[in-house]
Structure 1
């Protein structure tokens, strides 16, 4: 019997470990009482709604336990703002009032549970445990919905990207079957380009699939950033397609870094490809590598069409593509920058983009410059 109890206690501690509860009440004695009752959890405190919002914005809060009647911002207003910021957040409302209007307003604002004052400590612990289970279920449902949405968006995007070249090739083949054929017809060259484009799309899909399968595990090895860039350029379709764009190099000699070569190469290639893809037929792309103390930076600048302020916050979203002319014909899948930033973050680095419409784009990749040892 003792072993069963000990096992249950261990399981309870494992569930509690790392979970953060934010207690919001203008009475310090209530906050202290709740903190003592929730021993085993990580507990934060706030004296009113405004202070609670600031604490919440720092991240890491799993459940919020809030009073209703507080100065500056009451619990109902706090509840509304929290649900706007994070719909899956679980909020328990404490109230000493049996006012139906208060309860109704809290329910309308999507309160997850209620606790009446004076507090029953057993009820408090039970409510927190139920809240954590509810939060896990909410997150799982949200993730499933997000996956379904991404699948739908992806299938729609892929079908759209494939439709145009397939239609062009199909029309050409119909003319050919009807006996309408001229070896000097410029459409023949166009069909060849469309076929190459289709092949490129399939290659990109396979590359993205492989990258997703590899997940967040890093295979670290000594890598030279200069050689990575020099390997990328001759293999890039985007670079080859813009022969009128000049390439300017300023590559400082940097010792080898311990990196995942495949992931870092992928990230740098996406940035370089975009620099040429969104350049005009003539222009300049500069690629610079520099070392500053314990950081290595790769800076890629172009003189292309640039990105608007409205588009900048969205460019790291999956499937998002900048299409200023609304043609719907931007080539690619809108996944490159998403994975590029994720792979750089896995190395504890940053990928930052600065841009203005008509003035080009500057992308800076920053990596820790730890030499001779794994990151």
Structure 2
């Protein structure tokens, strides 16, 4: 979790939960609102209005009546659960109709409150609903993590198999005398095998990096950070430069105030973007890195004049395991996790990352970080 500084209290980082009240009777909404004064309250007069509010995000619990115009409570419940299964929905009803209750249960209603409302029961129901929502989200996260591990292990085995097979076949042919190491052709093979071994080493390095990222927890470990020193260091240490000796890199930067950042996570994000810019540059390409102050935030742009990215691929770049296969070989190297985690880490700092690109015209990545919100007091 985010570590508190000495002048922060627990209340400053706790988020008030938001309850969406849905009832066509304004008096009922007002009554509920008065009881739930410890929450942020959003109101809707019918199911359709409630669903539109829900789509904007930021709702933690929904308390809804059943009989309403336009879209009734049961249909609203079904639409909500289809869109977000972990959303907690409490049904208010003045009817003890078994069919209605069964419909609500089949649609995965989380609780029921009967009218006329018992105000203590209402407050207790909301508190229990929030606990239930947290448990649902935790279970969903565990399931996603399990699926992620399965896909990741399959991907790892695939990525390692090709270079290991190449190295193994070469050594078998060398041991059996099929390849004469003194031949010019053999020397070329040896060079290729050396490159495969280097690639395996880089894969292991990436695995250790991702392992460190995953084990570091979901929070930020903030410390004073000078980006004017960090950015040139990352650029000079980009290991992919050795594989692309013809690519030239340039950096220009304005003086940026010292920020409170998670050094490891920000370094990881910047390294992924810089490595991609070099990787997808032409053999004699140029990668330009620019950092400046702009409207109260730090802007870092990484631009190349390389092969670019097609418009249909741009929306997928931040998805887990997605990789741009520019040559359509089906043998793209790496794990396809770099940009996914880069965006996550930048967002955790209150920043943003965007990509503009055209095929054969190059790519520009823009990263923004707040200049003031993360600074030490």
Q: Same fold (TM over 0.5)?
A: yes
Match in the other structure for 2:10: none
Q: Is the 8 A contact 1:83 1:110 kept in 2?
A: yes
Q: Please name the residue that 1:187 is paired with.
A: 189
Deviations 1:163-206 (A, max 9, x none): 11111111112112222222231221111000001111111222
Query: Are the structure 2 counterparts of residues 325 and 252 from structure 1 closer, same or farther at C-alpha, using a change threshold of 3 Å?
Result: closer
Partner of 1:75: 73
Q: What is the TM-score when the length of structure 2 is the normalising length? A: 0.84
Query: CA 1:111–1:267 in structure 2 vs 1: closer, same or farther (change >3 Å)?
Result: same
**1:156 Cα shift?**
1.1
Does the 8 A contact of 2:351 with 2:370 survive in 1? yes
Q: Which runs of 5+ in 1 are unaligned?
A: 1-15
Answer yes or no: is 1:141 the counterpart of 2:117.
no
Deviations 1:67-117 (A, max 9, x none): 122223322332233223321011122233455554454344332233333
Contact in 2 for aligned 1:257/1:371 (Cα 8 Å): no
How do residues 197-276 of structure 1 correspond to structure 2 at under 5 angstroms?
197-215=199-217, 216-225=219-228, 227-249=229-251, 251-258=252-259, 259-276=261-278
Aligned to 1:329: 331
Answering whether residue 296 of structure 2 is matched by residue 279 of structure 1, we say no
How much does 1:257 deviate?
2.3
Instruction: Work out which of the residue numbers 16, 24, 27 in structure 1 matches 2:25.
Output: 27
Local SS of the residue matching 1:159: helix
Deviation of 1:253 after TM superposition, in Å, equals 3.3
What is the CA distance between 1:153 and its match in structure 2? 1.5
Please name the residue that 1:7 is paired with: none
Match of 2:148 among 136, 147, 150: 150
Structure 2 residues not aligned, in runs of 5+:
1-13
The verdict on how the C-alpha distance between 1:245 and 1:19 changes in structure 2, with shifts beyond 3 A counting, is: same
Residue in 2 that maps onto 1:295: 297
With structure 1 as the length reference, what TM-score do the two structures score? Answer: 0.84
Query: Which moved further from structure 2: 317-326 or 154-163?
Result: 317-326
Partners in 2 of 1:373 and 1:129 — Cα distance?
Answer: 35
Shift of 1:212: 3.2
CA contact (8 A) 1:92 1:115 kept: yes
Contact 1:65 1:94 in 2 (8 A): yes
Give the length in aligned residue pairs.
358
| Structure 2 residue matching 1:221: 3-state secondary structure | strand
Superposition deviation, residue 292 in structure 1: 2.3
Whole-angstrom CA distance in 2 between matches of 1:100 and 1:26: 23
